[in-house]
Amino acid sequence: MNRALRAAIVGVALFSPIALSACSAGQVAQTATQERDKVGAMGEVGDILLRQVHLAFPRSGSYDAGDDAEVTMAIVNTGGEADTLVSVEGEGFGDAEIQDGSATGASTGSARSGGLEVPAGGTVFVGSDDATITLSDLDEDLTVGQAVSLVLTFENAGEVTVRATVATPSSELEREEGFDFHHSEE
């Protein structure tokens, strides 16, 4: 084997691990850790996971001060025993009412009795037939993208703070006529 060929083989053997390690498109890639923009707020305390925390899109397009707002989210209990959401507090609203899907589970957010039970290994979808949480008497006007901080307290897991943003509409809204920038001055 001549010298030039031997040097080329040694060069390739030495530099190929460096070249191959620079191409990292697996689970360590930057995009592997990014969250989609429409997943909503998330939180975690103990065995409780909160996913897609939002304020439901208001029918009028925005909430006015004094309005009530419905919270939507999924509460996932990854633990081996049931837990209970006992209160929802925060700034920006007067009170929170937690309503279990069953007729007997109604309680207000400030009450320590009752609440919303989340079964072991189960998921409760708030804003559906499972349960509702209604924030009453909003302090200020809110529109899409604005948020309210919520402190959710669970009997066993403890408390967690999440920012619930006003959700975007689920379908296209009819728009008013646009402004004509090219009208002639009279």
Q: Residue 104 is part of a domain; what is its CATH number?
A: 2.60.40.1890
In a domain, 29, yes or no: no
pLDDT value of residue 13: 73
Q: Structural domain of residue 102, as residue ranges?
A: 36-166
Compute the distance between CA of residue 65 and CA of residue 81 in angstroms, rounded to an integer.
39
pLDDT of 104 over the 60 cut: no
- Does residue 160 lie within any of the structural domains? yes
In a domain, 152, yes or no: yes
Report the domain count for the chain: 1
* pLDDT > 70: percent of the chain: 73
| Residue 25 belongs to some domain of the structure | no
Give the integer Cα–Cα distance in Å for 1 and 27: 42
In a domain, 79, yes or no: yes
Over the stretch 22-76, which tens digit does the pLDDT of each residue have? Answer: 555 556 666 655 555 556 788 999 999 999 999 998 888 889 999 999 999 999 9
Which residue blocks in the chain are alpha helix, DSSP H?
3-21
The answer on pLDDT for 100 being more than 80 is: yes
| pLDDT score recorded for residue 144 | 85
Strands 158-166 and 48-55: parallel
Q: Is the pLDDT of residue 113 over 90?
A: no
